Amino acid sequence: MKDKAEQLIHLKLIAVAIMWGGTFIATKMASAVFGTFTGAALRYVFALVLMIPMLYLQNKQAFRISRKQFFQLLILGFSGIFAYSFFFFTGLKHVKASHGALIVALNPVMVMMLSAAINRERIRPMRLVGILLSLSGTALVISRGNPADLFTMFGWGDALMLGCPVSWAVYTYFAKDALKLSTPLQASTWAIILGLVLISCFIPTETYPSQVSLDIWLALAYLGICGSFLGFVWYYQGISKIGPVRTAAYNNLIPVFAMLLSVIMLGESIALYTLYGSLLVIGGVYLVNRY
């Protein structure tokens, strides 16, 4: 039974990688119409419409949390919902979905580096090689295939997208402690609620579009239901069962799915340096999680 339960977790995490690959496409569409905070808020409203009733049915006491739980979940809400949404929505206004996905592929490396820094763990030689490979691949993508021009080619879109793996590393690392006192559904619901409160403070600074087409609403619904509701709950289940580093390893698959979907749905072209960069990033992340 234990093996079957773990196999189910791995299948769920593969599904999460596919769904999160699609979030780059949906966010690219939504960010062209909505402001950063308005778009992010609508995404999480869609998610909470399903999550709050489900959490209430699962455990009516789940909305009563201790002070310790509140601060744990506030960290998750700030890092994984508020900060990540800001970097994600704003960054994708300036770079291609496939480009952004490769930068965000640094998530597992950032999780491992943060864990090593806080726990004062020595990084194994092969993991260090993996980190260097991943950073090299990201540099290749950011420099548009010309590493010598890295700093001249580095733009705001790249800087914003780099904020995603940093904020996600904080989110993933601290989720492990939060899940000692909260269930995956409770933790993800509370994190979204608290993050949404922070996001809502900035909505008045943005303008609302006069008309919104059906495909944009469907993109936001996808972000809320697949990218947030299912994605966050299953991701938390993974952290709870197999740990943050092994769970974050499935983020390796996200840029692959994101690139495929960006070509199919957005008609984006994939440059040769993007393919080389993806091989370096994914290979590096594999070494980080293999050794």
Kindly indicate the confidence band of residue 148, based on its pLDDT and cuts at 50, 70 and 90: low
- The predicted pLDDT at position 34 comes to 92
Q: Which of 55-69, 106-120, 241-255 has the highest mean pLDDT?
A: 55-69
DSSP characters for 92-152?
Answer: TTTS-HHHHHHHHTTHHHHHHHHHHHHHTPPPPHHHHHHHHHHHHHHHHHHTTT-GGGHHH
- The predicted pLDDT at position 163 comes to 93
Mean pLDDT of 56-75: 92
**Bigger pLDDT: 159 or 267?**
159
Kindly indicate the confidence band of residue 135, based on its pLDDT and cuts at 50, 70 and 90: confident
Interior angle at CA 251, CA 247 and CA 252, nearest 5 = 115
Q: Decide if pLDDT at 100 tops 70.
A: yes
Mean pLDDT of 100-128: 78
Q: What is the mean pLDDT of the chain?
A: 85
Q: Decide if pLDDT at 65 tops 80.
A: yes
Which residue reads 């509701």 in tokens? 229
Alpha helices in the chain (DSSP H): 2-31, 36-58, 67-76, 84-91, 97-104, 107-119, 125-142, 150-153, 156-178, 184-200, 214-222, 231-242, 244-248, 254-266, 272-290
Handedness of CA 182, 186, 188, 191 (dihedral sign): negative
Q: 42, 77, 41: which is closest to 202 by C-alpha? A: 41
Q: 123-152: buried (b, 16+ CB within 10 Å) or exposed (e) per residue?
A: eeeebeebbebbebbbebbbbbeeeeeeee
Query: Measured between alpha carbons, how far is 165 from 130 in angstroms, rounded to an integer?
Result: 16
- The predicted pLDDT at position 4 comes to 77
- The predicted pLDDT at position 217 comes to 95
Q: Decide if pLDDT at 288 tops 70.
A: no
pLDDT in tens, 161-202: 889 989 988 998 898 889 889 888 899 999 999 999 999 999
Mean pLDDT of 131-150: 73
- The predicted pLDDT at position 167 comes to 94
Mean pLDDT of 109-127: 78
Share of the chain above pLDDT 90, in %: 32
Mean pLDDT of 40-48: 94
